[in-house]
């Protein structure tokens, strides 16, 4: 892989989303040959199986972006101890019609940040369940349950010094995972 692309799905549409900030800051920890693309999921219709034969343009776009990627990074908030509805909606769209999922075999990374003490641990666990069904090889360790605290980002939006070493290790591990599963 000379110029690997990572599709990034952020499960929050909130303007000041911590998870979007995390996704942006994480991408800066990767070597320059990697490109990270945060995919738009806010314009997807609600999934309706009746539309499987005639998927909306936004759904086709999402699927082709994932198909073109070498890996998929999920950055999830925790909503009521699970993933957000918008993230699940996007996953459902890109997994259908049956037999035409674009996820199978794509190396996945799971991470998330929350204001709660357990830092999206339950949401990530639910997400891992979904990704197992979608046949995505998913990085197991290190796990990263991030608590949104003031020092998480510095003034430039980079990962702050308290968390940088840990998240650098996380990113290095994920990219090694992507390399390992390239063109699998």
Q: Which residues bind ligand FMN (CB under 6 A)?
A: 12, 14, 17-19, 77-81, 114-116
Q: Which is nearer to ligand FMN, 20 or 96 (CB)?
A: 20
Q: Which is nearer to ligand FMN, 123 or 175 (CB)?
A: 123
Contacts of 154 (CB under 8 A, 6+ apart): 160, 161
Shortest gap between Cβ of 77 and ligand FMN (angstroms)?
3
Number of H helices, E strands in the chain: 5, 5
Q: Which is nearer to ligand FMN, 2 or 80 (CB)?
A: 80
Cβ-proximal residue to ligand FMN, closest one: 116
Shortest gap between Cβ of 48 and ligand FMN (angstroms)?
22
Q: Which is nearer to ligand FMN, 60 or 81 (CB)?
A: 81
Going through 13-159 in order, the beta strands assigned E by DSSP cover 35-38, 71-75, 108-114, 145-147
Name the 3-class secondary structure at 57: helix
Shortest gap between Cβ of 74 and ligand FMN (angstroms)?
12
- CA separation for the pair 104, 56 (Å, rounded): 21
DSSP classification of residue 53:
T
Name the 3-class secondary structure at 145: strand
Shortest gap between Cβ of 76 and ligand FMN (angstroms)?
9
Q: Which is nearer to ligand FMN, 55 or 114 (CB)?
A: 114
Shortest gap between Cβ of 43 and ligand FMN (angstroms)?
18
Contacts of 108 (CB under 8 A, 6+ apart): 71, 72, 73, 74, 131, 136, 137, 138, 139
Polymer length of the chain: 184
């Amino acid at each position: 892989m000379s110029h690997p692309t990572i599709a990034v799905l952020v499960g929050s549409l909130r303007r000041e989303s911590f998870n979007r900030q995390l996704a942006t800051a994480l991408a800066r920890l990767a070597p320059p040959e990697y490109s990270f693309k945060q995919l738009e999921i806010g314009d997807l219709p609600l999934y309706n199986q009746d539309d499987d034969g005639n998927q909306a343009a936004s759904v086709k776009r999402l699927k082709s972006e994932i198909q073109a990627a070498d890996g998929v990074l999920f950055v999830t908030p925790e909503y009521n101890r699970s993933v957000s509805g918008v993230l699940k909606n996007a996953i459902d769209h890109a997994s259908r019609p049956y037999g035409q999922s674009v996820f199978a075999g794509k190396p996945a990374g799971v991470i998330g940040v929350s204001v709660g003490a357990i830092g999206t641990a339950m949401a990530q666990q639910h997400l891992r369940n979904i990704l197992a069904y979608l046949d995505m090889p998913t990085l197991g360790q290190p796990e990263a349950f991030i608590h949104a605290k003031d020092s998480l980002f510095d003034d430039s939006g980079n990962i702050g010094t308290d968390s940088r070493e840990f998240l650098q290790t996380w990113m290095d591990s994920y990219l090694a995972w992507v390399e390992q599963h390239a063109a699998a």
